[in-house]
């Protein structure tokens, strides 16, 4: 189980040990995250929706690693912005539950 806080600390140490702090401005990190997102998207661009729901083993593994890249940059960027990602997700879930009421049972 990933703990976001642990991952945050791990990534902070990882960057420090490689002298990457100077590159890790939020502006740069959002660009890097966006590039990883597109690498994830690339797997799906010519698929039908149906095909995207039943990935073959190799694609699924590649997709998983691209998702991890997005997650890693997201946690790193949150840290560099001083954002608590746990709190932000909780706040957003609350907003969403008000914004999108569930549909009635009989629909």
For residue 64, which of 40, 87, 32 has the smallest C-alpha distance? 40
Applying CB under 8 A, among 9, 12, 33, 76 the residue interacting with a second copy is: 33
3-state secondary structure of 48: coil
Distance of closest approach, residue 44 Cβ to a second copy, in angstroms: 5
30 part of the interface to a second copy, by CB under 8 A: yes
- Report d(CA 54, CA 98) in Å as an integer: 32
The whole-angstrom separation of Cα 5 and Cα 19 is 21
Q: What is the smallest separation between the CB atom of 106 and a second copy, expressed in angstroms?
A: 12
- Does position 9 interact with a second copy (CB under 8 A)? The reply is no
Q: Select 12 or 63, whichever has its Cβ closest to a second copy.
A: 63
Q: Go through 12-37 and write b for each residue having 16 or more CB atoms within 10 A of its CB, e for each that does not.
A: beebeeeeeeeebeeeebeebbeebb
- By C-beta, is 17 or 58 nearer to a second copy? 17
Of residues 39 through 98, those in contact with a second copy by CB under 8 A are: 39-42, 44-53, 55, 60, 63-65, 67-72, 74, 77-78, 80-93, 95-97
């Amino acid at each position: 189980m990933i703990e976001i806080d642990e991952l945050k600390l791990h990534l902070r140490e990882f960057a420090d040990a490689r002298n990457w702090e100077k590159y890790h401005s939020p502006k740069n990190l959002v660009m890097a995250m966006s590039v990883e997102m597109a690498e994830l998207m690339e797997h799906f661009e010519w698929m039908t929706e149906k095909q995207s729901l039943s990935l073959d083993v190799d694609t699924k593994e590649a997709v998983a690693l691209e998702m991890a890249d997005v997650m890693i940059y997201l946690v790193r960027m949150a840290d560099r912005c001083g954002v608590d990602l746990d709190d932000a997700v909780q706040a957003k879930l609350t907003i969403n539950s008000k914004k999108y009421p569930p549909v009635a049972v009989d629909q």
